[in-house]
Amino acid sequence: MHRTLLAAKIHSCTITDANLQYMGSISIDELLLKAVGIVPYEQVHVVNVNNGERFVTYAIAAEPGSGAIELNGAAARLGVKGDKLIIMTYAQFDELAAPQHHPQVVIVDDLNRITKLQSYIPTGLN
């Protein structure tokens, strides 16, 4: 059996722009992507903390150090500049690998600069 576990998370980032006319996706500062191991065009799950919207799209690398978090295409209707997001990826792990997995998490400030990089350590697993 395989389990789907959190692989990476960018926590509490701020939307910097919304581009309805763009073809789709979410643009994310490349430094944030690299910090947690998300690759361009990887599927991401996005949660808008301000309005409760949840959606799935793919990541596009924005200029490194720009702080950009931009909703593109239809996703641009799901948040506005200043809203807080949580961006997550998931991966499949077999029963033996799952207990050893540690998701990579980056916490950012209001300008989407990294304030903390950590790994979640599973608790209560035997």
Backbone angles phi, psi at 124, to 5 degrees: 75, 10
Q: What is the pLDDT of residue 24?
A: 76
For 2-119, the fitting CATH number among 2.40.40.20, 3.30.70.100, 3.40.50.300, 3.30.499.10 is 2.40.40.20
pLDDT digits (tens, 9 = 90+) for 44-90: 999 999 999 999 999 999 999 999 999 999 999 999 999 999 999 99
Q: Tell me the domain boundaries of the chain.
A: 2-119
Residue 73 is assigned to a ligand binding site: yes
Distance between CA atoms of residues 11 and 105, nearest Å: 7
pLDDT at 91 > cutoff 80: yes
Q: Is 8 annotated as a binding residue?
A: no
- Residue 97 among known ligand-binding residues: no
Q: What is the pTM of this model?
A: 0.93
Residue 57 assigned to a binding site: yes
Pairwise CA distance, residues 50 & 52, whole Å? 6
pLDDT at position 126, please?
A: 45
Q: How remote is the C-alpha of 75 from its chain's centroid? A: 14
More confident residue, 123 or 70: 70
Q: Which residues, in sequence order, are CB contacts of 29 under 8 Å at separation 6+?
A: 62, 63, 64, 65, 66, 67, 68, 69, 112
Count Cβ atoms below 10 Å from residue 106 Cβ, excluding itself: 24
Beta-bridge partner residues of 72: 19, 25
List, by residue number, the catalytic residues: 25, 58
